[in-house]
Structure 1
């Protein structure tokens, strides 16, 4: 069961988008204790429309490739997890979960798991979860993900150094004029 109904989400976002009221004031008015979640609703509605706020009761199994794409997007686009979630039309908690899994287990942890449980009469001891051995393809995907993250960081460092060099050059010219 979801904590907030689709109607409340639509009412909140519609009221906010009309303008003239802050997140905080609207949260107080509608009895929502925390404004972080509603910022996510507004972001999602702006990207995917008001219809995207409707509560969905279907379970979606995302492919490993899609999960890797989402994690890669977080690492290379300087966006928050909430913005990434809005971009892909998924929940921010799902983005956090996939990001944590890649950090702890690597790309192999994003593999689809078999569905279903044990038969009713079979009571086996629960074994500790083993770390999955990545396939060769998953090793390559992990390496590509790491290289893209490092490339993005190097590009950011380069841009910062260029800006610093420009500022230093401009300040030297400015001090020579005095």
Structure 2
């Protein structure tokens, strides 16, 4: 009996409902007629590899050398080929992977060797990390500064991709208030002084402004390439 296939879009929809709306895997499974264990497995892949982990074919995740990545980026910046064509030409997992390398290069991040298949980029087994409010602010600031590169931020701070994604999303939706851990174990927003709140808000707004400017500069560079 063949295994039923599910689209990446459906997988992502259910995983985000679990992470953002805090709907249990069991309830999602009952609503969509899918085994809860299957949705939980998707959640684990998302926590570990991000959206790429939900692709139908993901055997070649994390198998690219720094030299190969740089070669692809430079070929793209040469202006004669698209990210989609590069992915097809070199059998790269997805065009989004190429775009990630391009963004890292333009953000002056080092293009490093990917780890071998089966070795996670984030915390071991996608484990969730307990954090303080200040740590979450630092993580969100870092993620925004890297152009919302959830994977690299999660790897740097030893937390899961899903955690970083949710914190950034909550900050964008609710500001600093969205980063408060409502389980009551960490310092509450109301306990922050006005100066502490202002400093935190200014840091994150500065990060957003810098990233927006980098996006503008990046688009200008692409426009110049296309005009050649």
What is the TM-score when the length of structure 1 is the normalising length? 0.48
TM-score when normalising by structure 2:
0.39
Task: Answer with 1 or 2: which has the greater Rg.
Answer: 1
